[in-house]
Amino acid sequence: MDKLYIVIPAYNEEANIAATIADWYPVVEKHDGNGESRLLIIDDGSRDATGSVLDEEAKNRPLMEVIHKENSGHGPTILYGYKYACEAGADFVFQTDSDGQTLSREFEPFWRQRVRFDMVVGRRAGRQDGLMRSAVSKTLSGMLFVMFGIRVDDANTPYRLMKAYRLNKALQYIDEDEELTNIMLSVIYKKLGWKVLYRDITFRKRQGGRNSLDPGKIFDMGTASFKRFNALAERLKRE
């Protein structure tokens, strides 16, 4: 049976994390990979009660694994989780976030496409997280077209199922401190000609707590992205 790792980063999510676990743990139970699948939640140095809630929730969930680490940001934490899952021998790796914006009930159509495609990605249709974030995504798509000559439906969506062996190869192109991990993966898969399918998903507003990415941080990441994209382009040219 296929071994699935669901990777979820968490930072100061005490308002959402218990509900996120309740939503996604049954998915791992259903696709348990003979008891080797895992719901992997990475506490990225939270300063609230997220860590203690995770430890308590994991006590009676044998397929749930919690990692506590120093804060490094969303992108590096996802990257950490991807590498951990690949090294643990996962066959498939799925990533989503801990803020309750995505729904586990939409996972099964992705799972059914896991063999045909190297990555199945959620396209955030009818986004409910605000006009500013939607505008940022559209601007990003335009930037990727200019810099890489590619069109990506939704480059940074936190809802993606990947074959682990492809993911492991893609990670070789990404720096450990990369803040734009999922965007880089979207570019790498497209530029290397791997098979990617986009499916519409529901994307709700944050279900509780406060988003750690304010407009200022988004702007700073955007201005720094040019240098990172150029570096990635150079690496891909060597293929």
Q: What is the CATH number of the domain that holds 37?
A: 3.90.550.10
Model pLDDT for residues 217-233, shown as the tens digit of each residue: 545 555 667 788 888 88
d(CA 103, CA 66): 21
Instruction: State the DSSP string of 17-36.
Output: HHHHHHHHHHHHHHT-TTTT
Model pLDDT for residues 95-151, shown as the tens digit of each residue: 999 998 999 999 999 999 999 999 999 998 866 555 555 556 666 777 787 788 888
Cβ–Cβ < 8 Å for 159, 121: yes
Q: Which residues pair with 96 in a beta bridge?
A: 159
d(CA 156, CA 181): 8
d(CA 140, CA 183): 9
Domain that holds residue 172: 4-237
Collapsing DSSP states into helix, strand and coil, what is residue 88?
coil
Q: What are phi and psi of 4, to 5 degrees?
A: -105, 130
What's the number of domains the chain is made of?
Answer: 1
Cβ–Cβ < 8 Å for 199, 161: no
